Amino acid sequence: MNKDMIELYSDYLIASFGQTTATGLANLLQGSIYHDSITRFLNSETLTAKEQWQLIKPMLRQHENATPNAIGYLIFDDTIQPKPHTSVDDINCWHYDHTQNKNVKGINLLNCLYHRKDIDIPLSFDIITKPNVFTDDKGKVKRKSDKTKNQRLLDMFDRAIKNQVKFDYVLADSWFSAKATFKHIRKANKHFIFALKSNRLVALTPDDREKGNFVRIDKSNLPDNTPVRGFLNDYHDEVLLLRRVFTNKDDSTGVLYLVCSDLQCDKDKFINGYQKRWQVEVYHKSLKQNANLGKSPAHSQRARFNHMFLATYAVFKLECLKIKTKLNHFALRTKLLISANQSAFAQLKAISGA
């Protein structure tokens, strides 16, 4: 692992406000490093979860030791970096975007964010590759991944367990609420708070469960914003169910169905716990806007993998700066932009007056 180049390239991603290129970085450094060296670095060894853990571990352990009584959360979610004009391959291909309810051409990343007492650490990520090409019944050529997203999630979860990350709950939306995922989390003595789809079958009493009287959760007459013990039709343990009613920004009413494996979880801990999931949305926004995720100068698969790794590390560095400066990622970038504009303006005035 070339630590010096990792630090250099990730700093460049934070400081750059245009297209990031190997030549651009070389010019920024006034030729102290040639662009060929940067290109070779991006195309050398593939940076993996092992290297990511080595980079973030010291800060993570320091924060855990400083907050011994804090609740830790692993937050999982995926995001798509649109690449509509890039040719289709294993990495850049069509994915279903559930936030837009349509297929989008781009790069799909599954992320694991570690949240603990106002600090968000990118713990790991996985790029959803689709190497398997096939033709469907309608004669349309499509691509398929070797692993499901739930399998990838569990791999990342197991890695966090192996690395002894101190967390209590796993958070994710309804797309990941498979019974195998629930069982796997509980087997490791961790709890989950997940969203459920409105058609998930539930029973609210042991008697209904024994008789097989399961109904859709949106037809189950759950009280608003009050945890109720119940059962999922495909999961063996008793759980807490909650119908979360909230008001959207446009004043419309929204409904979200949640499940929690921790039967001792009260209303506030249940609701506030799941709201921590919003942190991964903020992380995705920062990854795209503050770390130039979509502005890779690379064409080879390995170089694109490494660019995304380094964008993830760049957001981690912004989080470290947030702790130091008390400024969020976007405020930090704005400060850098203002400084860059001031420098450019001063240089322009100097040239104009020459």
Where residue 87 falls (left for φ over 0; alpha for ψ -120 to 50; beta otherwise) is beta
How confident is the model at residue 341, as a pLDDT?
92
Q: How far apart are CA 122 and CA 312, in angstroms?
A: 7
pLDDT at 253: 85
pLDDT band at 99 (very low <50, low <70, confident <90, very high): confident
DSSP-assigned letter for residue 224: B
pLDDT number for residue 162? 97
- For the segment 13-39, the average pLDDT, to the nearest whole number, is 85
Most confident of 8-22, 317-331, 338-352: 317-331
- Report, as an integer, the average pLDDT of 309-335: 96
Statement: residue 264 has pLDDT above 80: yes
- Higher-scoring residue by pLDDT: 177, 1: 177
Fill in the amino acid letter for 208. D
Q: In which band, very low, low, confident or very high, does the pLDDT at 25 lie, cut at 50, 70 and 90?
A: confident
> Does the pLDDT at position 139 exceed 90?
no
For the stretch 100-115, pLDDT in tens is 888 999 999 999 999 9
Q: So what's the pLDDT on residue 354?
A: 59
For the entire predicted model, the pTM comes to 0.93
Return the number of other C-beta atoms located less than 10 Å from residue 69's C-beta: 5
Q: What is the pLDDT of residues 194-239, one digit of tens each?
A: 999 999 999 999 999 999 999 999 999 899 999 999 999 999 999 9
Please give the structure tokens belonging to residue 104. 């989008």
In this structure, of 23-37, 60-74, 121-135, 173-187, the range with the lowest mean pLDDT score is 23-37
Q: Is the pLDDT of residue 298 over 80?
A: no
Instruction: Please say if the pLDDT value at position 296 is more than 80.
Output: no
| pLDDT at res. 297 | 66
CA distance 14 to 327: 15
Token digits of residue 73: 């959360």
State the pLDDT confidence band at 328, using cuts at 50, 70 and 90.
Answer: very high
